[in-house]
Structure formats: C-alpha cells, structure tokens
Amino acid sequence: VIYLFYISYSFLISDPRFKITNISFHGHHALTEKQLLDWLGPVQGKNLFKYDLAKATESLAKHPWILSASVERKFPREIQVELTERVPYARVKFNKIFLMDNFGALLSEETPEYKDLPLIVQSNKGTKLENFSGDKVIQSLKTMHYFNKLSFFENNPMDITELKGDSRIIFFTRNRDLKIQMSMDALKEGFRKFMIVLDTLEGENMKIQMIDLSFKDQVVVRDRI
C-alpha cells in the first residue's frame, strides 16, 4: 500500500500532463493580469500538485490593492485565483498624491480616473508615508459625506480636507469660498452644532468665509469682510 502511494505521488508530481499551462484571475478590476502575474511570480510550467497555494495566497494578500485572495487548483493544468480588490475612497497628498481605501489603507499613486475623489491634505510636512494611519481620517471623510448631503452644500459641495496637526481638520468647498473647521475628537458634536445654526446661515452663506466648530459650546463664524 505504501509503495502504491509512493508510485502515485511520484506520478502526480513528475508527469508533464500536470504542468500548469494556465492561470485565471477573477474579481480584479483596477489591476491587470500582467500586474498580478508580475507580483505573483512564475507559475506556468510548475507542477499543479507541488505548487504552494498557501504561499501564493499570502503573496497576493500583501498587494496594496488586494483586500482578500483565494488560490485553487483546477484539474488538470490550471490555477484559479479569486480576488477582492480594495476600492479607492479618497486621495491623500504627501509629496505626491496617493489613493486610499475606506479602511485607511494607501493603495498607490493616484491615476486620472480617480481625480474626482475627495482630497486629504497633510499640512504637517513631517508626516512620512510609511507612518501614515488613515484610521482617524475615515470618520472625517464620512462627516464630509454627511455635510454634502445637506441642501446647503448642494451646489458647492466639500471636496478637500486638510489635517491640522493631530487635533483639527478643515473642510473646503469646491469653490474655495467657505471652510469649516472641526475637532477630530468631536466630529459628531461639531456636526450637531452646525445643524443648529444652519437656519441662520441659510441665505447668508455667500457672506461667510469660515465656520469654526472646534470650540466647546460655541460656534465661531467669520465674515468675508
């Protein structure tokens, strides 16, 4: 029995009929098959049963654009890869502009098709790319989304967010004629205060230059004049 197992195993790992001739990818949109193959390394010509599926899956999962990956054998000569890509959610400006997903992970340098995504500006020039953590800005982007759903911003939505140190954030409208400053630690409270004064600002917004919601128990409004 042991000998039969040994002969069968030797046959499976040495017979040329089990050499991989095709690798198929499913679920990719932003990445091309060439980019995936370059990242994965040589596959074709390797034995189907000796090919390390776990290592291939781990390698793909390390790609900045890939959220999850699954690699399977497909008898007799194919490897099949199922992917879930990360989706760009915003752009982050350092010395260059990078794409970021909704988990705060940086993906790659921006490309023209994503030029309309919200832009996050790092005002602290000392912030290094490898030390960036997008966790704290995700809630800020969601707050921007809530602002833009209001009729007040219907014709002039927010599209730029600037991080000021570790505690404050500034939103800019598309026409650059209004900015709103908030505390990173009290975004919900700041949004609530804005809703309270919204009726006062309606009809007067063209005269307003800045609204500061970062102070406790008060709102500061700066007129353009």
139-159: pLDDT as tens digits: 888 899 999 999 889 999 999
* Residue that wins the pLDDT comparison between 210 and 128: 210
CA 221 – CA 113 distance, rounded (Å): 36
Q: Which tens digit of pLDDT belongs to each residue from 88-110? A: 999 998 888 999 998 888 999 99
Q: Report whether pLDDT(137) > 70.
A: yes
Number of helices (H), then strands (E), in the chain:
5, 12
Q: Report whether pLDDT(72) > 90.
A: yes
The DSSP bridge partners found for residue 23 are 79
- Listed residue (41, 37, 48, 58) closest to 15, CA to CA: 48
User: 4: pLDDT confidence band, cut at 50, 70 and 90?
Assistant: confident
Q: Which two tokens stand for residue 142?
A: 């969601």
User: 216: pLDDT confidence band, cut at 50, 70 and 90?
Assistant: confident
Task: Report pLDDT for 76.
Answer: 84
- Listed residue (128, 130, 107, 132) closest to 117, CA to CA: 107
Task: Report pLDDT for 91.
Answer: 93
Q: Which two tokens stand for residue 179?
A: 């900015």
* Residue that wins the pLDDT comparison between 56 and 4: 56
Q: Report whether pLDDT(168) > 80.
A: yes
Averaged pLDDT score across all residues of the chain: 86
Whether cis (ω within 30° of 0) applies to the bond prior to 42 is no
